[in-house]
Amino acid sequence: QVFSFRPSLILHPPSSSPCTRHRAAMAAAPAGDPARVARILEFMRIVGKLKEVKRTGWVRSGVKDAESVSDHMYRMAMMGFAMGSPDGVDSGKCIKMALVHDLGESIIGDLVVEGNQQDKITREEKQRKERQAVHDICAGIGGPTGEEIRDLWEEFEAGETAEARHLKDLDKFEMVLQASEYEESQSMELSDFYRTTEGKFATPLFQQLDAEIRLRRTRRQEEAAAAPAAKRAKGE
Residue 81 has pLDDT above 70, yes or no: yes
Give the pLDDT score at 19: 47
Give the pLDDT score at 85: 75
Give the pLDDT score at 100: 98
Query: Is the model more confident about 33 or about 21?
Result: 33
Give the pLDDT score at 236: 61
Q: How far apart are CA 127 and CA 57, in angstroms?
A: 18
Element (H, E) at 60: helix 56-60
pTM for the structure as a whole: 0.81
Q: What is the pLDDT of residues 105-133, one digit of tens each?
A: 999 999 999 888 899 999 999 999 999 99
Q: How far apart are CA 6 and CA 14, in angstroms?
A: 14
Q: What is the pLDDT of residues 172-221, one digit of tens each?
A: 999 999 999 999 999 999 999 999 999 999 999 999 999 999 999 999 99
Give the pLDDT score at 116: 82
Residue 13 has pLDDT above 90, yes or no: no
Mind giving me the DSSP string for 81-137? HHHTGGGTS-HHHHHHHHHHTTTTHHHH-----SSSS--SS-HHHHHHHHHHHHHHH
Cβ atoms < 10 Å from Cβ of 220: 13
